Amino acid sequence: MTHARIGKKIPPALALDADFEIAGLTALYGPAGGGKTLILETIAGFAKPDSGRIMLDDAILFDAEARVDVPPRRRRCGYVAQRDALFPHMTLRRNLLFASHGGARLERSRRVAEMLERFELTPIAASRPRDLSPAEALRGAVARALLAAPKLLLLDDRGFDEALLRAIREAFAGPVLLVTGDLDLCCAAADRLILLAGGRILQSGAPRAVVDRPESVEAARLLGFSNIFEGEIAALDPVRKSSRIEFAEFALAGPFVSGRFRGARVSIAVLPADLRVHSGDIERQPNAIPASLVRVSRGARAVRLEFSGGILAEVSFAEFERQKDNKSWQVEFPPQALRAL
Amino acid sequence: MNWSLWLVLRLAGLATGISVAIGLCLAFILTTRKPHFQGAPFPAQFKALLSAPVLFYWMGSGGRGGAGFWPFTEAGLVVAGVISAGPLFLGAARSAFAGLDPNYGQAARGLGASEWQVFSRIHLPLAFRPILIGAASVFLGLLAELAIVWWCTGRMFA
Q: Could you list the residue range(s) of the whole structural domain that residue A234 is in?
A: 227-340
pLDDT of residue B158: 43
Q: Which of A172, A197, A220 is the last residue of a domain?
A: A220
pLDDT of residue B39: 53
Which residues 6+ apart lie within 8 Å of A68 measured at CB?
A60, A61, A62
**Is A316 in the same domain as A271?**
yes
Instruction: Supply the mean pLDDT for chain A.
Output: 88
CB contact B114 to A (< 8 Å):
yes
Q: How would residue B57 be classed by pLDDT, with cut points 50, 70 and 90?
A: low
Q: What is the pLDDT of residues B127-152, one digit of tens each?
A: 999 999 999 998 998 888 888 877 77
**Is A44 in the same domain as A68?**
yes
CA distances from A260 to A242, A243, A270, B29 (A): 13, 11, 19, 64
**Is A191 in the same domain as A259?**
no
**Is A85 in the same domain as A207?**
yes
CATH code for position A49: 3.40.50.300
DSSP B15-57: HHHHHHHHHHHHHHHHHHTHHHHTTPPPTHHHHHHHHHHHHHH
pLDDT above 70: residue A32: yes
Mutate one of B111, B116, B118 to test the A interface: name it (highest A CB count within 10 A).
B111
Mutate one of A56, A87, A147 to test the B interface: name it (highest B CB count within 10 A).
A87
Identify all chain B residues contacting A73, using CB atoms and an 8 Å cutoff: 109-114
pLDDT above 50: residue B66: no
Identify all chain A residues contacting B113, using CB atoms and an 8 Å cutoff: 73, 98
Instruction: Give the chain B residue nearest A46 (alpha carbons).
Output: B106
Number of domains within chain A: 2
Q: How would residue B153 be classed by pLDDT, with cut points 50, 70 and 90?
A: low
**Is A104 in the same domain as A210?**
yes
**Is A175 in the same domain as A215?**
yes
Distance (Å, whole) CA A170 – CA A227: 40
Identify all chain B residues contacting A144, using CB atoms and an 8 Å cutoff: 111
Dihedral angle of Cα A146, A147, A152, A156, to the nearest 10 degrees: -40
pLDDT of residue B143: 87
Identify all chain A residues contacting B106, using CB atoms and an 8 Å cutoff: 44, 46, 72, 79, 81, 85
pLDDT of residue B136: 93
Closest CA to A108 of A91, A126, A96, A92: A96
The reported pTM is 0.82
Distance (Å, whole) CA B31 – CA B98: 8
State the average pLDDT over residues A248-262: 83
pLDDT above 90: residue B31: no
Q: Which of A187, A220, A253 is the last residue of a domain?
A: A220
**Is A180 in the same domain as A314?**
no
CATH code for position A262: 2.40.50.100
pLDDT of residue B49: 56
Distance (Å, whole) CA B45 – CA A299: 59
Q: Which of A220, A241, A273 is the last residue of a domain?
A: A220
Say how many CA atoms lie within 13 Å of B47 toward its Cβ: 15
Q: What is the pLDDT of residues A306-341, one digit of tens each?
A: 998 888 999 999 988 888 888 888 898 888 888 888
Q: Indicate the DSSP class of residue B118.
A: I
**Is A196 in the same domain as A83?**
yes
**Is A126 in the same domain as A211?**
yes
**Is A21 in the same domain as A157?**
yes
pLDDT above 90: residue B61: no
pLDDT of residue B64: 45
Distance (Å, whole) CA B108 – CA A94: 13
Taking only residues 95 to 154 of chain A, the set having a beta carbon closer than 8 angstroms to any beta carbon of chain B reads: 98-99, 101, 144-145, 148
Measure CB to CB from residue B125 to each of A78, A83, A89 and give the nearest one: A89
Distance (Å, whole) CA B23 – CA B29: 10
**Is A178 in the same domain as A255?**
no
Distance (Å, whole) CA A217 – CA A329: 27
Instruction: Supply the mean pLDDT for chain B.
Output: 76
Distance (Å, whole) CA A293 – CA A27: 37
Cβ atoms of A287 and A242 within 8 Å: the answer is no
- Which domains does chain B possess? 5-156 (1.10.3720.10)
A281 against A290, higher pLDDT: A290
State the average pLDDT over residues A283-310: 86
Tell me the helices (H) and strands (E) count for chain B, helix number first.
Answer: 8, 0
State the average pLDDT over residues A39-59: 90
pLDDT of residue B75: 76
**Is A73 in the same domain as A137?**
yes
